Amino acid sequence: MSELTLTVMRLGFLAVLWLFVIVAVQVIRSDLFGTRVTQRGSRREAGRAQQAQRQAPPQQRQQPASGGRQRRNAPTKLVVSEGTLTGTTVALQGQTITLGRAHDSTIVLDDDYASSRHARIYPDRDGNWIVEDLGSTNGTYLDRSRLTTPTPIPLGAPIRIGKTVIELRK
Amino acid sequence: MSGTSATNTSTHHTSTIGAIGAPSRRNTELALLVFAVLIPVFAYANVGLAINDQVPAGLLSYGLGLGLLAGVAHLVVRKFAPYADPLMLPLATLLNGLGLVAIWRLDQSKLLQSIGQAGGKATNQLIYTAMGIALFAVVLIFLKDHRTLQRYTYISMAGALVLLLLPLVPGLGAELTYGAKIWIQVGSFTIQPGEFAKIVLAVFFAGYLMVKRDALALASRRFMGLYLPRGRDLGPIIVVWMISILILVFETDLGTSLLFFGMFVIMLYVATERTSWIVFGLLMSGAGAVGVASFEPHVQTRVQAWLNPMHEYTLSRTPGATGVHSEQAMQALWAFGSGGTLGTGWGQGHSELIRFAANSDFIFATFGEELGLAGVMAILLIYGLVVERGVRTALAARDPFGKLLAVGLSGAFALQVFVVAGGVMGLIPLTGMTMPFLAYGGSSVIANWALIGILIRISDTARRPAPAPAPSPDAEMTQVVRPS
């Protein structure tokens, strides 16, 4: 076998081995670089941010969650706009989001007026986001009305749970 | 990572919300698995071309054999652990495949054949791999929930001790020992029970620490910035230490005792979050190693070969020199040195010059010579990824037992890689252990496939989407809003 062929195979093998490592790391890149990290001020700053938010329309600094799959005007994230978790965002990727004081909730509410399993937000078959009250003590409010049935969420409508207000944004 | 919560209210700047409802990613696994089978096939062809100037005759059967085994493993995962981690199986398959190629490559060496260290070993290893995959499948099929293992905490302890003591039983311990007494003879097979004891012991530690961790973590006094544990809590660590020292003394197996003690300290640290355990662990392993090394001649030889490899090599070649001298430490270093950055290429090195155990304990030197620094780094990264997936599984697991077990198993895996690779590269004294998946040896391959099986089971449970919210067990009173 010629020297050249063997050299090519030698370097080729190393390249393929490293390619495998790189592909493997690509598979788990969300572990290495984290998912969406949101800047969130301390509580005092959060208060100021809250006031600013009331005056100005919310800033849209984040890139949309998962590109072309979603329709236009579909919300891409859930934002907590009032309460102790102000500033927290959760990317909407087709998963059910549970809210409540229970530790396994997606958003754990540190709020005495929230029930352990207070409400959940999920997409229906057409991709509309639905909020459903899970039999909470104090109820879940969409805009001003208390929820009795699972209800589609309009973009930007405030959902109030205890002292916490969340909304869906693009 | 479902169930990640935004409770980060006290700290200042960031909070991370993990992606929820993870997809099963079985197709990713399949694609990577195909890749992981093709790489060793490429290497196999490369070895044949380099040594015999032709594509080896067994290429097709080897490729099909490895591919079939990987395919079976994949189907079992798809059926019985659909949400498992997508990386572990391809990574283990790649390591196993590369090990097979390196063993086959050493089989071709006339020198090793003439001293009975090679020839037909690759076929044996392929059979062991098949048995390993079979055990992997058995673990996934019959272990529906890793928490069942929790019931066998103390049986595991007894089982591990029995496994460790088996080589000392007269008539059962194999006589082919070279220094360490870690094999047992069953029929014509020799088994290394320590490899299996590793897994069983991890089960015991996880079950024990889950129950005792609060006592171990909280009941302590503060002294000079360290939390000193109470005497009665120190008991278990002392017992494990004594056991590992006793293994070292009676079986002269430095590696296994280091592995067990290290695994226990890692799990203790993870269970209690107290740095003081690490300090204690390091002090005690240091004291134990120095103490044993001062009177055990076998260990002394290893330490000498570590400190002065060239001197020992010269002595081993000097006729009339007294005592046992190891030449392998220096030979392994030469193998790495002649490999350089990019290696000599498959089949073109001379690592068979490490005559004894070239395809088991020293197989890493073959990789070092033929693939060079670049290849060795890639292989170490692959090991690192296996460990990373294990620790990630522990983070994602919802039950403390699963967390501890995953940390313990991946910690043991990491320690074993460190002890072997460090020993062959001359960072620490050589110990007679096998590189997981790469080295020749049935017990090691089979036990490590079982280990990967348990990790995949835990990761399946951890990544499985949570069931619909049930009536809350931890319900507290919710204050009622009174309109005023």
A window 106-125, beta carbon within 8 A of B: 106-108, 110, 112-117, 120
pLDDT tens digits, residue range B175-234? 555 556 677 776 667 788 888 988 998 999 899 888 887 777 776 666 666 666 666 777
Residue A140's CATH number: 2.60.200.20
Hey, is the C-beta of B417 within 8 angstroms of any chain A C-beta? no
A57 CA to chain B: closest CA distance, Å?
A: 22
Closest CB to B91: pick one of A6, A24, A43: A24
**Report for A118-127, B309-318, B448-457: range of highest mean pLDDT:** B448-457
Going by their DSSP bridges, the two strands A129-133 and A145-146 should be labelled as: unpaired
**Choice between B17 and B273, residue whose per-residue pLDDT is larger:** B273
Residue A40 lies in a domain: no
Looking at per-residue pLDDT, the higher value among B386 and B331 belongs to B386
A39 touches chain B (CB under 8 A): yes
What confidence category does residue B5 fall into, taking pLDDT thresholds of 50, 70 and 90?
Answer: very low
The verdict on residue A69 lying in a domain is no
pLDDT at A85: 81
Quickly list H helices, B273-399.
275-293, 297-307, 309-317, 328-339, 363-396
Separation CA B401–CA B208 (nearest Å): 9
Confidence of residue A48 (pLDDT cuts 50, 70, 90): low
Say what the pLDDT of residue B478 is: 67
Q: Is residue A150 part of a domain?
A: yes
Is A127 inside any structural domain? Answer: yes
In a domain, A9, yes or no: no
Length of chain A: 170
Cross-strand partners of B14 = A39
Instruction: Calculate how close chain A gets to B332, using CA atoms only, in Å.
Output: 21
Q: Which domain holds residue A81?
A: 74-167
pLDDT score, position A51: 52
Here the tokens at position B413 are 């895996």
Number of domains chain A contains: 1
Task: Tell me if A129 is assigned to some domain.
Answer: yes
- Give B13's contacts in chain A (Cβ within 8 Å): 39-41
As a whole number, mean pLDDT of residues B54-79 equals: 90
- The better pLDDT of the pair B417, B465 is held by B417
Residue range B299-338, pLDDT digits in tens = 788 888 888 888 888 887 777 766 677 778 888 889 899 9
Q: How far apart are CA A140 and CA A160, in angstroms?
A: 6
B417, B448 Cβ separation under 8 angstroms? no
The pLDDT tens digits for B131-151 are 999 999 999 999 988 888 988
Give the residue extent of every domain in chain B: 25-463
Give the pLDDT score at B379: 95
Angle between helices B193-218 and B153-165 (to 10 degrees): 140
How many CB atoms neighbour CB B253 within 10 A? 26
Q: Which of B6, B39, B478 sits opposite A88 (nearest CB)?
A: B6
Query: Which residues in chain A have Cβ-Cβ distances shorter than 8 Å to B35?
Result: 20, 23
Most confident of the ranges B169-173, B239-243, B318-322, B404-408: B404-408
Other CB atoms within 10 A of residue B75 CB = 13
